[in-house]
Structure 1
Amino acid sequence: MAPLNTSAEPSSVPIPPHTTIIELVDQSAAEGGAKDKNGGTESIVATEAGDATTIQVVAKPGAQVIVKDNRGATKQVPVAAAAAAAATGHSMVVQVQEAAANVKDKSQSTRPIPTPAPPSHTTIIQVSGQKADTNATDKTTSPTPTQAAPGHTTIVQLPSQKAGDVSVKDTNASSKSAPAPTPGHTTIIQIPGQKPADANTKDKRGPAAPATAVPGHTTIVEVHGADASAGDHSRSTGKAPATAPGHTTIVQVPGQKLADVNVKDALGYTSLHRAIENGDVTRIQVLLDEGADINVKQDSWAGKTALTEAVAEGHHTVVKLLLDKGHNIDAKDTTGYTALHWAVEKGQIEVIKVLLEKRANLEVKESQGSSPRGATALHLAADGGNETIVRLLVEKGADMHATDSRLGLTALQMAVEKGREAVVKALLEKGADFRAKYQNGYPPRGATVLHSAAENGYLEVIRLLVKRGADIHASDDLGFSPLARAMKAKRLDVVRLLLESGVDAGGEDARLAMHIAVTAGNESLVRLFIDRGANVNDRDSTTGFSLLQQAAHLKHDAVVKLLLEKGADVEAKDDPAKEKKKTPLWLAAEAGSVTIVQMLLQRGAVIDQRCSEGGQTALIVAAKNGFEFVVRALLEKGANVNVGDDESFTALFRAAESGQTAVVRTLIEKGANINAQLTGWPSGGHSQGNTALSAACYRGHIEVVKLLLEKKANMHLANSTPLVYACLNSHLAIVQLLLEHGATVKEMSDSINHAARDGSVEIVKLFLDRGVSVKNMDDGDFPLMEAAWRGHNEVVQLLLERGADLEQRTVVTGGYNGPLDQGTALWHAAYWGENAATVKLLLDKGAKIETRSTRDNRTPLHGAAAEGKEAVVQVLLDKGANVRATDGKGQTPLQLAQAANQAGVVKLLSGRS
């Protein structure tokens, strides 16, 4: 057998999972087979699809291969097809038996056939015609020379040496003889024919041999002659460094020269990087002696140099060794960090000391990422809050006034931004400039570190700065002082500290801060402001509220008490220039604070002061909101129970309207006029003459209605029929209650139209059953018309069943624009309504389709056409309405539709005239 060809260039194609190893046999055949448009033959396509399980490759270029598929059938395919199958991973077993291992793929690029399986599905490779021991077994596999071992390891047998057992120790340290690797993460490989390795040698994970311990994810492909070749899980077989990827161990054949030590593994690491990663000083020394490049960078995202790798791992002994060997101390890796930057970031104090002893440049700025900060080592230490490192760097001469490149921040500014109290103290002790101002927008230009500390609430940092003499009144470029910044951020503890440090309590910033303190209910801080001279009656510039109004409105009892003790104006209004504005008492009553109401009354607040735009008193607003205890407190202090607001609404009316049963009871007990009627033109859907009972009926508050009826409220007052208001919103239960309490037929007659209009078939039926006429007229209208034009078909059906007259007409004598049209239910439904089904129902029941209105002499079709009611027009047309009929002005329905631009109706009527 010829020796294995190792002169081929390493393939750049990564070995895919389940890699096929190919057996070379001495057979010849011409390459054949029809080619597709991409240059691939049918056979290539077949093998790429995984048709074969065992591939035999002929040694000669351009030859054919014999393929046996999973059904046992054989056929010949080109060598390139075999290589494609190897690359796509469709077979499991490999023996390399011939020299010419190079094949051409279908892109005509020459590369060695991939031999080892990747780390997760490893394969034993036997080289140069040597026979493996088929009798050896491990603890998890059957004896076979070609079986992939579980785990992450590959064993390689050297060419030109006698095959034999390989001494292996697994992770359980049990020894065995096996050609296959043991399961787990570590395999010790002994080179057959050479002196066994020292089995007692250990690496950092356990027993290992100095020759070829292969821990972790390692794959060793071949050790041939004087070179050590290796493959990893993402590269093709070829020359590789003596360390393999994963948990790497150097592979060295005793007495032979190491492979190229500067070749990088799949992750872009050289052997030196891997050795440094593990802190293996002996191995590092060997690699350096063998010519390892000390300044080469990793091909990883970090692109670390040997030195920055050693620093990041904290191996200060390795750092010293590398520097002694001439490594550039200030070299940057791909991250833009020098060794000193890494040491500071990782907090490696011993490494920092080594670097400082070797005169690392303290002022080099990092250039990390796409948006580098341009920070020095001191910036990084200050930002990270490492006081010890900060002191060490400053003692060695680091410039405390240096600014970073992005925001122009000093180390002190960075430390303050993060609230690094210990670092701030250290820098201040060393003379850092606390007066330096920010320049790049945030914090705002012109701000000092005191502004920043105040806004962020760093009390101890503020104390340090103030103690050093920081200006507590300094303004930034926006005019804000530290106090204003603290106030804006609602840092009341900072506000207190600054006041205690001498800030003027009467200044504009202090005024704003005091209002914020009142709003927050911070009594002790408000006291501090007042004790330092703040105006107790100061007003908010936006709302006009005094401090007392703010506190009363927000129910801050303690602040109200303090302000009253300090002489706050108990009658202060939010706009003194206007009458009827809200006093502190009114605001407290509105908020429901009985304690504050009592305090204000004790201080002489005017109890019946009419406030707000509606002229409500404190009693009215408290009653409306249902604050019974406030109502009682006010009544006990003499509030007028029957006083009305500007629209004559009393406390009882508002309480009844809002359903406040307990308050209604209290007011009645305290003498409220239960039958008081509204005067003038009240708002809110109410009418002149309405009472508390009608208001409760209108809103549907049945419990209040029951209480008022129990207290003998009059339900028969003129202009105040509670039954009408109950029907307006179809409150059936209240209607029934009122009927039980003696509602008259007259009142029901006045109410049935409202019930029909609202579509309440139950109430309409109830009234009809109690004797109300189905033809009842009220203000010229009748129930059928009310239900019809609003489309309440159920009510229409009921009324017709009870004898409603389809030809009954409305009796209307006037309106806003003079006399209104009078007509039947059908006419109103067609003209005013939207429900075509109602029109059809009335016609089906016998309504006259050509009925006319009394004013304009129009038919239902005229009305529907003029109003653009297409569905109604269609129903009328279907029922035979006369399209040529003219109204009092001689106009047809079509003409009316055209005049009103009712295109849809015009389309329906066109061609029918």
Structure 2
Amino acid sequence: MLSYHRGVINLLLDSGADVNKRVDNSTHLLNLLDRAVLFDHLGQTMLLLLQHGANVDDADSRGRTALIMASEMNSTGDMLKLLLSFESNINRQDVSGKTALHHAIERGMSENLRILIDSGADVNLITKDGLSPIHQCMKYSMHGQGLTMLLDNGADVNMEDEAGNNVLMAALHIGCSTGLIERLITARADVNHRNKEGLTPLMLVSQRSPNLEIYKILLEAHADIKRVAGTERNRKTALSILLNTHGLDEIRNAEFLLDHGATSVFINPEILHRAIILGEENLVGKLILKGLPSANIRFRRRLTAWRSRYLSPLSVALLMEKTHLVHYFLDIAFLTESDIPTLSRNASVLDTIFSFNERCFPLVQEISSRPLALSTLSFIKISAALGTDDREEKVSATQLPMILQERLLFRTKPLPV
């Protein structure tokens, strides 16, 4: 029945043509929608086929019914209503698990979406890829009326996609607006949800596109800034992800997180050394006060003043003539064992420092003018023994008086302004 004239179609049907005959795994009703551009009176022809017993839920090789096909097309609202009046299964899924609702979202057909929702479409059915309709909205940037309709009709914002992301995290993946984040939180999106990698929304912001306003929104909604993700050997927090991924390009965001309860655990010690070199003293002080211990780091090239490529924070501050930081590190004993020769006026170290930067030599002479006290040497040894990993837990396990524990965590004095 390949005629495109309604009168001829009617005559053939009245003469006993099989309205449900399949040709190339398709039916006349499906062909009608597949070749809709060739029909002048598509809706009337569809009604004619349905009145003659066309099976409204027959599907093609991809599992698409007439309703699914119509949902993808513009200006087909009346046809959707017609198919639904003949009891088409509104929640029928194609071979990929998509319903008419998914297809309408995929093609950006907001009017079709409204009709389907008003007719009782399930707003939480998921595809074989684990996408619910609201996840489809995120994927295809349908953030306006379509999203509002889904939220107003019970779409679950905490359903997970195949990566374990809820809708808030899916939105963060695509780099959404602050307004959208606020809408999803208002709809009760879990701001502490973990995906299959263990990441939270805050961590995703740090990983993908740090944004101060989004940090503020999430924290105001009680996102847990201290949550830890990762394996035993690669643990991370929102702050450590931010600094370890983006380095000192994100200083202001890092300081904001530190000011709002983040700790310095799991941060690469190299970040502190870079901050010293760049003169970011405010960040240096906050990182130390929030738990970043003193550690030697390996520079890619050997600095003349040290035979080793491994430098302590004090060594870097000396070489960069950061007098304020040098005195602060000494005041709180933020030192490593490699600092002992420098502070003990080791002749070889003094000679090489002078050859590298003679301007810092008076500072070195000043800080090494007195022998190191036994208490300071003992403190350095104990601090080195505690190491950098799980330092707070190790310090707590010593059961030392709290004032000594605070000293070993370098929390007793903030960096003087």
Q: Same fold (TM over 0.5)?
A: yes
Listed as ranges, the matches of 1:480-559 within 5 Å are 480-494=236-250, 496-503=252-259, 507-509=263-265, 512=267, 515-516=270-271, 518-519=273-274, 523=278, 526-532=280-286, 534=288, 539-543=294-298, 544-547=310-313, 549-550=315-316
Counterpart of 1:401, as a letter, is N
Higher helix share: 2
Matched positions, count? 329
Listed as ranges, the matches of 1:44-83 within 5 Å are none
> In the superposition, relative to structure 1, how do residues 376 and 504 fare at CA in structure 2: closer, same or farther (>3 Å)?
closer
Question: Partner residue of 1:284?
Answer: 46
Question: Partner residue of 1:263?
Answer: 21
Q: Is the 8 A contact 2:158 2:166 kept in 1?
A: yes
SS at match of 2:93: coil
Q: Is the 8 A contact 2:276 2:313 kept in 1?
A: no
Q: Is the 8 A contact 1:311 1:339 kept in 2?
A: yes
Residues 641-664 of structure 1 show CA distances to partners (whole Å, capped at 9, x for unaligned) of xxxxxxxxxxxxxxxxxxxxxxxx
Question: Partner residue of 1:308?
Answer: 68
Q: Is the 8 A contact 2:318 2:364 kept in 1?
A: no
Listed as ranges, the matches of 1:12-27 within 5 Å are none
Measure how far apart 1:291 and its partner are: 3.0
Counterpart of 1:343, as a letter, is A
Question: Partner residue of 2:155?
Answer: 398
Alpha-carbon distance between aligned partners in 2 of 1:550 and 1:265, rounded to the nearest angstrom: 79
> In the superposition, relative to structure 1, how do residues 242 and 520 fare at CA in structure 2: closer, same or farther (>3 Å)?
farther
Counterpart of 1:260, as a letter, is D
SS at match of 2:87: coil
Residues 636-683 of structure 1 show CA distances to partners (whole Å, capped at 9, x for unaligned) of xxxxxxxxxxxxxxxxxxxxxxxxxxxxxxxxxxxxxxxxxxxxxxxx
5+ residue gaps, structure 1, are 1-240, 244-248, 554-559, 590-596, 607-913
Counterpart of 2:101, as a letter, is L
Alpha-carbon distance between aligned partners in 2 of 1:545 and 1:505, rounded to the nearest angstrom: 29
Measure how far apart 1:352 and its partner are: 0.9
Question: Partner residue of 1:386?
Answer: 142
Which residue, 201, 219, 244 being the options, matches 1:466?
219
> In the superposition, relative to structure 1, how do residues 599 and 330 fare at CA in structure 2: closer, same or farther (>3 Å)?
farther
Counterpart of 1:396, as a letter, is N
Q: Identity over the aligned pairs, expressed in percent?
A: 19
Alpha-carbon distance between aligned partners in 1 of 2:94 and 2:318, rounded to the nearest angstrom: 64
SS at match of 1:313: coil
Counterpart of 1:567, as a letter, is V
In the alignment, structure 1 residue 242 sits paired with structure 2 residue 6: no
SS at match of 1:484: helix
Measure how far apart 1:500 and its partner are: 1.7
> In the superposition, relative to structure 1, how do residues 387 and 485 fare at CA in structure 2: closer, same or farther (>3 Å)?
same
Residues 758-810 of structure 1 show CA distances to partners (whole Å, capped at 9, x for unaligned) of xxxxxxxxxxxxxxxxxxxxxxxxxxxxxxxxxxxxxxxxxxxxxxxxxxxxx
Q: Is the 8 A contact 1:242 1:250 kept in 2?
A: no
Q: CA RMSD in A?
A: 3.8
Alpha-carbon distance between aligned partners in 1 of 2:351 and 2:108, rounded to the nearest angstrom: 60
Measure how far apart 1:598 and its partner are: 6.0
Q: Is the 8 A contact 1:297 1:303 kept in 2?
A: yes
Measure how far apart 1:484 and its partner are: 1.5
Counterpart of 1:297, as a letter, is A
Measure how far apart 1:580 and its partner are: 7.3
Q: Is the 8 A contact 2:226 2:261 kept in 1?
A: no
Alpha-carbon distance between aligned partners in 2 of 1:474 and 1:398, rounded to the nearest angstrom: 27
Which residue, 273, 278, 283 being the options, matches 2:30?
273
Which residue, 456, 465, 475 being the options, matches 2:228?
475
Residues 258-306 of structure 1 show CA distances to partners (whole Å, capped at 9, x for unaligned) of 443433444x43332232242622332233233322111112xx33110
> In the superposition, relative to structure 1, how do residues 353 and 254 fare at CA in structure 2: closer, same or farther (>3 Å)?
closer
> In the superposition, relative to structure 1, how do residues 573 and 289 fare at CA in structure 2: closer, same or farther (>3 Å)?
closer
Counterpart of 1:456, as a letter, is R
Counterpart of 1:365, as a letter, is I
Alpha-carbon distance between aligned partners in 1 of 2:31 and 2:270, rounded to the nearest angstrom: 64
Alpha-carbon distance between aligned partners in 2 of 1:567 and 1:461, rounded to the nearest angstrom: 36
Counterpart of 1:575, as a letter, is S
Q: Is the 8 A contact 1:364 1:377 kept in 2?
A: yes
Question: Partner residue of 2:119?
Answer: 358
Q: Is the 8 A contact 2:202 2:225 kept in 1?
A: yes
Residues 710-765 of structure 1 show CA distances to partners (whole Å, capped at 9, x for unaligned) of xxxxxxxxxxxxxxxxxxxxxxxxxxxxxxxxxxxxxxxxxxxxxxxxxxxxxxxx
SS at match of 1:416: helix
Residues 200-236 of structure 1 show CA distances to partners (whole Å, capped at 9, x for unaligned) of xxxxxxxxxxxxxxxxxxxxxxxxxxxxxxxxxxxxx
Measure how far apart 1:493 and its partner are: 4.8
Which residue, 73, 76, 85 being the options, matches 1:324?
85
Measure how far apart 1:489 and its partner are: 1.7
Listed as ranges, the matches of 1:416-815 within 5 Å are 416-421=172-177, 422-438=179-195, 440=196, 442=197, 444=198, 447-459=199-211, 460-476=213-229, 478=231, 479-494=235-250, 496-503=252-259, 507-509=263-265, 512=267, 515-516=270-271, 518-519=273-274, 523=278, 526-532=280-286, 534=288, 539-543=294-298, 544-547=310-313, 549-550=315-316, 560=320, 563-567=322-326, 575-577=338-340, 586=353, 589=356, 597=357, 599-601=359-361, 603=363
Measure how far apart 1:390 and its partner are: 2.5
Alpha-carbon distance between aligned partners in 2 of 1:584 and 1:492, rounded to the nearest angstrom: 33
SS at match of 1:464: helix
- Higher relative contact order at CA 8 Å, sep ≥6: structure 1 or structure 2? 2
> In the superposition, relative to structure 1, how do residues 467 and 264 fare at CA in structure 2: closer, same or farther (>3 Å)?
same
Counterpart of 2:312, as a letter, is S
Residues 178-215 of structure 1 show CA distances to partners (whole Å, capped at 9, x for unaligned) of xxxxxxxxxxxxxxxxxxxxxxxxxxxxxxxxxxxxxx
Counterpart of 1:475, as a letter, is V
Counterpart of 2:18, as a letter, is D
Measure how far apart 1:467 and its partner are: 2.6
Question: Partner residue of 2:415?
Answer: none
SS at match of 1:387: coil
SS at match of 1:575: helix
Q: Is the 8 A contact 2:159 2:167 kept in 1?
A: yes
Alpha-carbon distance between aligned partners in 2 of 1:518 and 1:505, rounded to the nearest angstrom: 22
Higher strand share: 1
Alpha-carbon distance between aligned partners in 2 of 1:538 and 1:410, rounded to the nearest angstrom: 36
Alpha-carbon distance between aligned partners in 2 of 1:287 and 1:366, rounded to the nearest angstrom: 30
Measure how far apart 1:601 and its partner are: 4.9
> In the superposition, relative to structure 1, how do residues 271 and 486 fare at CA in structure 2: closer, same or farther (>3 Å)?
same
> In the superposition, relative to structure 1, how do residues 347 and 586 fare at CA in structure 2: closer, same or farther (>3 Å)?
farther
| TM-score of the superposed pair, with normalisation by structure 2 | 0.66
